[in-house]
């Protein structure tokens, strides 16, 4: 990202982002873009392979074969610090070829079960790691639109709140893909549940992002991914 001012005073966007990382945050990713762009954003938000990270992926409308597309270069689905919650295998930390499910699969439409498995995955990883440094835990839900289309908004709000509490309690960073226009009714209703919004677009075939931060009248400038 560039160093554009994110709001009033002398606080820059990067300073605000560092503050979000320190305390833990939940980010809503919006914008009608190709799936490849959403996957690229996920790889970025899941953090560099050069730093110690615990990554938790919750799949709703993706298959386990898509996991490598959601991880940054140098990170394998079979890494011990990668945990996947998916409907076919339950919760696991292995590639599809060597899956070690810890329980039966869940229905893609079972919101309560998804919440339980995702929160348990975070808690288990936190215990195994003896806690996390700020932003060490990275969580991705791909996608929130799948849940919005199958549940009433109030249920989705409860789900996001519960998962978000677990993430912030671990000083982690979670992002939830909602590939809808940023000014859509659904985004407007869910946005207050998140610490910030990342809006995606494609301009002349080039993927770009801008951030919407609370307390700021205007978003940041558009920059390339």
Read off the pLDDT of each residue in 149-168 and give the average, rounded to a whole number.
94
Residues 223/190, Cβ–Cβ less than 8 Å = no
Nearest to 136, CA basis, from 21, 20, 19, 14: 21
13 lies in a domain?
Answer: no
9 lies in a domain?
Answer: no
- Per-residue confidence (pLDDT) for residue 63, from 0 to 100: 82
Task: Say whether pLDDT at 182 is over 60.
Answer: yes
Query: Where would I find the H helices in 69-152?
Result: 111-128, 144-148
14 lies in a domain?
Answer: no
Task: Say whether pLDDT at 102 is over 60.
Answer: no
Higher pLDDT, 67 or 92: 67
8 lies in a domain?
Answer: no
Query: How buried is 159 (Cβ within 10 angstroms: 0-12 exposed, 13-18 middle, 19+ buried)?
Result: buried
- Per-residue confidence (pLDDT) for residue 11, from 0 to 100: 61
Cα angle 135, 222, 218 (rounded to 5 degrees) comes to: 85
1 lies in a domain?
Answer: no
Distance CA 15, CA 2 (A): 12
- Per-residue confidence (pLDDT) for residue 224, from 0 to 100: 95
Nearest to 141, CA basis, from 39, 43, 60: 60
- Per-residue confidence (pLDDT) for residue 211, from 0 to 100: 95
Output phi, psi for 205, to 5 deg. 80, 5
150 lies in a domain?
Answer: yes
Domain count along the chain: 1
- Per-residue confidence (pLDDT) for residue 87, from 0 to 100: 67
4 lies in a domain?
Answer: no
- Per-residue confidence (pLDDT) for residue 68, from 0 to 100: 94
10 lies in a domain?
Answer: no
Query: Where would I find the H helices in 2-69?
Result: 13-23, 35-45
Q: Look up the CATH number of the domain holding residue 102.
A: 3.40.50.300
Lowest-confidence pick of 52-61, 81-90, 191-200 = 81-90
What is the extent of the structural domain holding 187? 23-224
pLDDT interval class at 180 (50, 70, 90):
very high
Q: What value does the mean pLDDT of the chain take? A: 86
161-177 b/e with 16+ CB inside 10 Å = b? eebbebbbebbbbbbbb
């Amino acid at each position: 990202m560039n160093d554009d001012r994110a709001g009033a005073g002398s606080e820059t966007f990067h300073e605000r982002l560092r503050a979000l990382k320190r305390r833990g945050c939940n980010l809503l990713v919006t914008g009608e873009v190709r799936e490849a762009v959403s996957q690229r954003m996920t790889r970025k938000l899941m953090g560099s392979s050069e730093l110690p990270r615990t990554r938790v992926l919750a799949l709703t409308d993706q298959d386990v074969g898509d996991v490598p597309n959601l991880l940054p270069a140098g990170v394998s689905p079979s890494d011990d610090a990668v945990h996947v919650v998916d409907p076919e295998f339950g919760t696991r930390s292995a590639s599809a070829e060597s899956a070690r499910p810890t329980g039966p699969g869940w229905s893609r439409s079972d919101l309560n079960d998804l919440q339980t498995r995702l929160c348990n995955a975070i808690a288990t990883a936190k215990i195994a790691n003896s806690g996390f440094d700020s932003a060490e835990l990275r969580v991705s839900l791909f996608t929130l639109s799948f849940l919005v289309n199958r549940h009433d908004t109030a249920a989705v709000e409860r789900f996001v709140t519960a998962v978000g509490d677990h993430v912030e309690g671990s000083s982690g960073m979670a992002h939830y893909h909602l590939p809808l226009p940023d000014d859509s009714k659904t985004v407007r209703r869910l946005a207050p549940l998140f610490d910030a919004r990342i809006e995606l677009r494609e301009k002349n075939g080039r993927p770009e992002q801008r951030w919407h931060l609370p307390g700021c009248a205007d978003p940041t400038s558009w920059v390339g991914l």
